[in-house]
Chain A
Amino acid sequence: MGNRPRISVVTPSFNQGRFLGACIRSVLSQNYPNLEYIVIDGGSTDGSAEIIKSFEKDLAYWVSEPDAGHYETLNKGFRRATGDILAWLNSDDMYTPWAFTVVADIFERLPQVEWLSTLYPLFWNETGAATLCTQLPAFNRRAILRRGIGVQQESTFWRRSLWERAGGALDASFKLAGDLDLWARFWEHAELYGVAVPLGGLRLYGEERCPSHSRQYVAEAIVVGRHRRSDSALSRIGEGLHPLLPKRLRRFLMRVGLPYRYGGHVIRADNGVWTVS
């Protein structure tokens, strides 16, 4: 394990000083040997810049200056990223301590995997303890684009090659659903694999900008869905029947790839070796 692949993580920050330290520590305390960590602050006025500065020597790059919003901030960071594996972590969220090693192991071991996300999304509370875990059965492209949710951004990692093929930037015309738009573009090039290990988590707290049910998000998700849905009529019928089928049959259909084109790819380790099932 001498030469670990380089992982670039970008954290966009804006007036989240309360949680920023925990976010940065969740990245740095993993002691991953080939990490490139970039923090882009949008000109916070709550002391965030001082917090970032205190971690300066462990950061590949950081800057604090006014910018045009969340996704523009991210694009600024990703333009400087040189890693083989890319991801971003919002300034109020956290990774699990093992995330980078697990992700690097999987990308090294399974060359066919170009992007992955967790099947066990975690949710943190104000104090940084994990207070909820859920299980996702697998990732279904159409269902996710239709509903606008189902991939936890905090637990999603991708290869640089895929990022470049898919445009190499987030669409800054979105305010909230830029991640969903990115997944839709990724899906045009590669399948999403689910990992049976919690990787990251979203922090739920009072005033959090949890976007998934706001009107703005729903409106943007509809835009993404319209543009990117491209499955066959048969898949759509299958998808429509989906809620009516017994779970075992659904699982079976996913496993054999019917009617879902992008369904049952689950990564787990059997006897210590990462495998796709």
Chain B
Amino acid sequence: MSATESGQWPRITVVTPSYNQGRFLPACMRSVLDQKYPNLEYIVIDGGSTDGSVGIISSFEKELAYWLSEPDGGQYDALNKGFRRATGDILAWLNSDDMYAPWTLRVVASIFEALPAVDWISTLYPLFWDATDLPRFCAELPGFDRWDVLRRGVGVQQESTFWRRSLWERTGARLDTRFTLAADLDLWARFWEYARLYGVAVPLGGIRVHEAQRHVLHEQQYRAEAASILERYEDHVGGPATRVLITMHAVLPRRLRRFLTRFGIPYHHDRRPQMITKWSGTWTTSPVARPRVWRRGIPARSA
């Protein structure tokens, strides 16, 4: 019997950095706390908000492991402060305007319990919330390729990404505060030096699409930071032949791309992009492929 079945859930630490997002903060915090996850450590670090955020946080006080409000050096500084106090086996952060799906923490815990080889995960089905807390669309990602994500600077939804403490400690155990917008991308680049990213075929979290999003407001800055990350890690992701193939990738038909992907060409790191599914009973990893369900009918389940 696994630990999750016997009632011993692994400890999950979620950190929320907050700064003047009082409008969305209650929905964010409820999306974490309403899951009633039995071994949650929830930490909220406010950067000295002046819009009533502090009152909102203190109203949740008894459910929080720790919270504070004081001026800081920005979002990633707040996160580092929070993660220094984190004691969980599984770590993640959720920005104060974003939300988890109601099942997220239990699903994440059961995956990490069932699959010891998995050090970090993200969703293949990112959600997007609107200002009224409703999902307005869901997307499908084909899998995670390190080079492709670093080159484009997008492709891993931070809100849906969770990792083990062991990986976090091996990669420096902090966010790089020299970045103002792309420190998450930098963290993924460091994670990728040690472990493969597995995609989960379930929506986990979502980003709120609204007019005041920081990376939308400062797109130029984000692109510059993403480019500097790519520069630093470019050499780690395959030789020249790999890069030629990856550049051609965009013009190849999707079926051919999937075929190449499956046979380890042209990807250096993620030879076979992996996804995690629970089709019958247990979580399993398999190369990314569209589930056969909708192509040929639901497969007969083993008795």
Q: Is the CB of A272 within 8 A of B136?
A: yes
Assess whether B137 is in contact with A150, with CB atoms less than 8 Å apart.
Answer: no
Quick check: B202 and A132 within 8 Å, CB to CB? yes
A128 and B130 alpha carbons, distance in the complex (Å): 25
Report whether A204 and B280 are in contact in the complex, using a CB–CB cutoff of 8 Å. Answer: yes
**A135 to B134 alpha-carbon distance, docked (Å):** 19
On whether the beta carbons of B254 and A210 are closer than 8 Å, the reply is: no
0/1 string, A38-81, CB within 8 A of B gives 1: 00000000000000000000000000000000000000000000
A192 to chain B, nearest CB (A): 15
- Assess whether A196 is in contact with B297, with CB atoms less than 8 Å apart: no
A127 to B136, CA, bound (A): 26
Interface string of A7-42 (1 = CB under 8 A from B): 000000000000000000000000000000000000
* A222 beta carbon closer than 8 Å to chain B: no
B126-149 to A contact mask, C-beta < 8 Å, 1/0: 010011111111111000000000
- B263, CB-defined interface residue at 8 Å: no
Does B66 count as interface, using CB distance less than 8 angstroms?
A: no
> Hey, which chain A residues are within 8 Å of B293, CB to CB?
134
Least CB distance, A69 to chain B, in whole angstroms: 22
Residues of B within 8 A of A246 (CB): 253-255
Cα distance A196–B294 in the bound complex, in angstroms: 17
The residues of A that contact B124 with a CB separation of less than 8 Å are 133
Flag the segment in B85-93, B100-108, B184-192 that touches A. Answer: B100-108
The CA of A136 and the CA of B140, in the complex, are separated in Å by 10
B107, A272: Cβ atoms closer than 8 Å:
no
Q: Are B130 and A129 in contact (CB under 8 A)?
A: no
**Among listed A96-104, A180-188, A228-236, interface-contacting one:** A96-104
Contact (Cβ within 8 A) A213 B253: no
Instruction: For B209, list chain A residues within 8 Å (CB).
Output: 272
* A132 interface neighbour in B106, B127, B201, Cβ under 8 Å: B201
Cα of A246 to Cα of B253 in the assembled complex, Å: 7
Of A128, A129, A136, the residue contacting B294 (CB under 8 A) is: A136
Chain A interface main SS type: loop
Please name all residues of chain B whose beta carbon is closer than 8 Å to the beta carbon of A248 when the two chains form the complex: 253-254
A105 touches B106 (CB 8 A): no
In the complex, A269 has a CB within 8 A of chain B: yes
CB <8 Å contact, B136 and A134:
no
Residues of chain A contacted by B294 (CB below 8 angstroms): 134, 136, 149-150
- Which single residue of chain A is at the shortest CB-CB distance from B296? A147
Do A213 and B298 form a contact, CB below 8 Å, given A132-B202, A272-B136? yes
Set of chain A residues within 8 Å of B138, measured between Cβ atoms = 119-120, 133, 196-198
CB contacts (< 8 Å) of A213 on chain B: these are 297-300
What interface size band does chain A fall in? Answer: 35 or more
Asked if A130 is at the interface of the complex by the 8 Å CB criterion, the answer is yes
A28 to B159, CA, bound (A): 28
A133 / chain B contacts, CB cutoff of 8 Å: 124-125, 138, 201-203
| B301 contacts the other chain (CB 8 A) | yes
Residues of chain A from 94 to 123 with CB closer than 8 A to chain B in the complex: 96-98, 101-102, 105, 119-120, 122
Q: Mark B264-301, 1 if CB is under 8 A from A, else 0.
A: 00000000000001111001000000110110111111
Q: Check B299 against A196 for contact (C-beta < 8 Å).
A: no
A125 with B298: in contact, given A120-B125, A132-B202, A134-B291 (CB under 8 Å)?
A: no
* Docked CA distance A158–B171 (Å): 51
Do A130 and B103 touch (CB < 8 A)? yes
Contact flag A98-B134 (CB < 8 Å), given A150-B294, A212-B298, A213-B299: yes
Question: B134 and A102: CB pair below 8 A?
Answer: yes
Is there an interface contact between B106 and A129, defined as CB atoms closer than 8 Å?
A: yes
* Chain B residues within an 8 Å CB radius of A150: 294
Whether B20 is near chain A, meaning CB under 8 Å from some CB there, is: no
A124's closest neighbor in chain B, by CB? B103
A131: min CB distance to chain B, Å: 4
Task: Tell which of A96, A102, A210 touches B298, judged by Cβ atoms closer than 8 Å.
Answer: A210
Q: Are A268 and B107 in contact (CB under 8 A)?
A: no
Instruction: Name the B residues within 8 Å of A130 (CB-CB).
Output: 101, 103, 107, 202-203
Q: Does B110 contact A (CB under 8 A)?
A: yes
A247-B136 contact given A136-B294, A147-B297, CB 8 Å threshold: no
Interchain CA distance A210-B279 in the complex, whole Å: 13
Q: How far is the CB of B252 from chain A (nearest CB, A)?
A: 10
Task: Name the residue on A nearest B101 (C-beta).
Answer: A130
Among B124, B138, B140, B278, max chain A CB count under 10 A is at B138
Q: A130-B101, A130-B103 are in contact. List 5 more A-B contacts (CB 8 A).
A: A101-B132, A129-B107, A131-B277, A132-B278, A136-B294
30 interchain pairs (CB within 8 A)? Answer: A96-B102, A97-B102, A101-B132, A102-B135, A119-B138, A122-B202, A127-B106, A128-B103, A130-B203, A131-B277, A132-B201, A133-B138, A133-B201, A133-B202, A149-B294, A149-B297, A196-B139, A197-B127, A197-B135, A197-B137, A198-B125, A198-B135, A204-B279, A212-B298, A213-B297, A213-B298, A246-B253, A246-B255, A248-B254, A268-B136
